[in-house]
Structure 1
Amino acid sequence: MRKIIDSHIHLDLYKENEVRRIMNELDSARCTDLISVSFHLESCLHNLRLAETYSQIHAAFGFHPEQELPAAEALQDLFLWMEKHQKEMVAVGEVGLPYYLRSESKGNFSNDGYIELLEQFIVKAKQWDKPVILHAVYDDAPFACDLLEKHGVDKAHFHWFKGDSQTVERMIENGWFVSVTPDVVYEQEIQELAKIYPLDQMMVETDGPWRFEGPFSGKMTHPNMIHKSVASIASIKDCRVEEVYSCLYKNTADFYQFSS
């Protein structure tokens, strides 16, 4: 069966009617599960409510790095809340480093506080025995790798990864996972990653509500787009489509320790 799991989506950022539409169409999309990642404490609360409402939604809690660092009190509130809700949390995420925020600052920006914050999340994930969902691309990826190696983290999921070949090899050797977005259908950079990365260390995602181009231009990002991603991955890797569906599904279900 050609079942899918959306391994990375921001359901809390969709409008209510869009969430209802997605959830009502999951069966027809053959999507059994969604991992909804968080931006900050308010986002965590929203994702928890969604997970309590829909059995197909699994919530990850964290602080997205592409924003101003939280004040000490806000960070303490977030960690205390996450500690309290460990059982409802499938992973720590989305966490990482602010590559795009830093790029837009034109050199007037320091990563230091973000690296310290990422390390705190990695330490907590290790303590809670949870996977880490990472936003760490290009020049930032080696810093994230350093921290994961420092703390002996086995279960790391780099979403929508982009980076140099040396870092890719390092990630593969450590057994870490990447997830591929629908732009694998038309974006050469993502196609190259899909070609190199082992299928048994790969997942698929939408990162919705982020919008895509090519055949998805002008459309609301929906888990059903993943089917085109799977077809592209199968073509790139010269594998049977059924084999790719089965492997990607098993990878994700095993990584996040749920089954459907």
Structure 2
Amino acid sequence: MRKMIDSHIHLDFYKDEEITDILGEMEQMNCAGLISVSFHLESSKRNMALSKKYSHVYPAFGFHPEQPLPSDRELADFISWMEARVDLLTAVGEVGLPYYLRNEHGPGFQLEGYIELLEEFIKLAKRWDKPIVLHAVYDDAPLACDLLEKHEVTNAHFHWFKGDKKTIQRMAANGFYISITPDILYEEEIQEVAKQYPLRQMMVETDGPWRFEGPFSGKMTHPAMIHDAIPAIARLKKTPLPIVYDLLYQNTIKFYRL
């Protein structure tokens, strides 16, 4: 069991005792770090506090798109808060487009404000020279690619990506990274993405505390589940397991400049 890094987890959404347990087991599970992404300002504040308490926690500050848009005042306050703490943030994220929220609300849903918000965060990531963590799946991924290309941002991580072959080829050609979740063990869709995407631009994540099914049904999502996902990636890529472990680990170190 070689070293790994959970490249996308909402650590601040876990209960205090769960956080203590997870961080106390880092050495035991050979986990070198957690990229803890944020949902909004309060979430960002909690992740910052966790990063100060635990050296293995690397915080990303952002506004998750699967929620109502912030007011102009709320957004200005959030960006001002981030600006004052640029040196403390590992990345901008989680940001993106509201694919699931839009499907839930139907044809009348207004996407424009979310596109503008994403573009604002992309511009901040470029100005601050920080990686950006994206929630952009299916039809939203090309829209995110348009904005990244417009602003010449290449250090982009599409977490738990799902999309078509054409978009996969476009993202890979741009040098964008994706991350694979434990559902690779039972989801054919994720297996197909893993087969197609270059291993040199791949990481692994849990997106915890989001819960998984299959062999993980009924279990709290834990970074240790990554050790189940990596052998599945190795089998699909027909690559020796030690090589896959080392590549995924080094990819994450390189992308997040750890």
Q: TM-score, normalised by structure 1?
A: 0.98
Distance 1:241 1:18 in 2: 30
Distance 2:226 2:153 in 1: 28
User: Match of 2:127, as an amino acid?
Assistant: Q
Distance 1:27 1:107 in 2: 48
Aligned to 1:26, what secondary structure does the other structure show? Answer: coil
Q: What does 1:56-135 align with in structure 2 at a 5 Å threshold?
A: 56-135=56-135
> How many residues of Structure 1 are paired with residues of Structure 2 in the alignment?
258
Aligned to 1:58, what secondary structure does the other structure show? Answer: strand
Alignment partner of 1:33 is 2:33? yes
Could you tell me which residue of structure 2 aligns to residue 186 of structure 1?
186
Q: What does 1:137-176 align with in structure 2 at a 5 Å threshold?
A: 137-176=137-176
Distance 1:88 1:107 in 2: 40
Aligned to 2:178, what secondary structure does the other structure show? Answer: strand
RMSD across aligned C-alpha pairs, in angstroms?
A: 0.6
Following TM superposition, where does structure 1 have runs of at least 4 consecutive aligned residues deviating by more than 2 angstroms? none
Per-residue CA deviations over 1:2-48 (Å, capped at 9, x if unaligned) read 10000000001000000001001111111010000000000000000
- Give 1:256 deviation, angstroms: 0.7
Aligned to 2:257, what secondary structure does the other structure show? Answer: coil
Q: Which runs of 5+ in 2 are unaligned?
A: none
Could you tell me which residue of structure 2 aligns to residue 240 of structure 1?
240
Aligned to 1:221, what secondary structure does the other structure show? Answer: coil
User: Match of 2:105, as an amino acid?
Assistant: S
Distance 2:236 2:99 in 1: 28
Could you tell me which residue of structure 2 aligns to residue 216 of structure 1?
216
Range with greater deviation from structure 2 (102-111 or 53-62): 102-111
Aligned to 1:27, what secondary structure does the other structure show? Answer: coil
User: Match of 2:225, as an amino acid?
Assistant: M
Percent of matched pairs sharing the same residue: 62
User: Match of 1:117, as an amino acid?
Assistant: L
User: Match of 2:250, as an amino acid?
Assistant: K
Could you tell me which residue of structure 2 aligns to residue 12 of structure 1?
12
Per-residue CA deviations over 1:80-125 (Å, capped at 9, x if unaligned) read 0110000000000000000000000022201100000000000000
Aligned to 1:147, what secondary structure does the other structure show? Answer: helix
User: Match of 1:199, as an amino acid?
Assistant: L
User: Match of 1:60, as an amino acid?
Assistant: A
User: Match of 1:10, as an amino acid?
Assistant: H
Aligned to 2:32, what secondary structure does the other structure show? Answer: strand
- Give 1:176 deviation, angstroms: 0.4
User: Match of 1:239, as an amino acid?
Assistant: T
Q: TM-score, normalised by structure 2?
A: 0.99
Distance 2:142 2:231 in 1: 30
Q: Which runs of 5+ in 1 are unaligned?
A: none
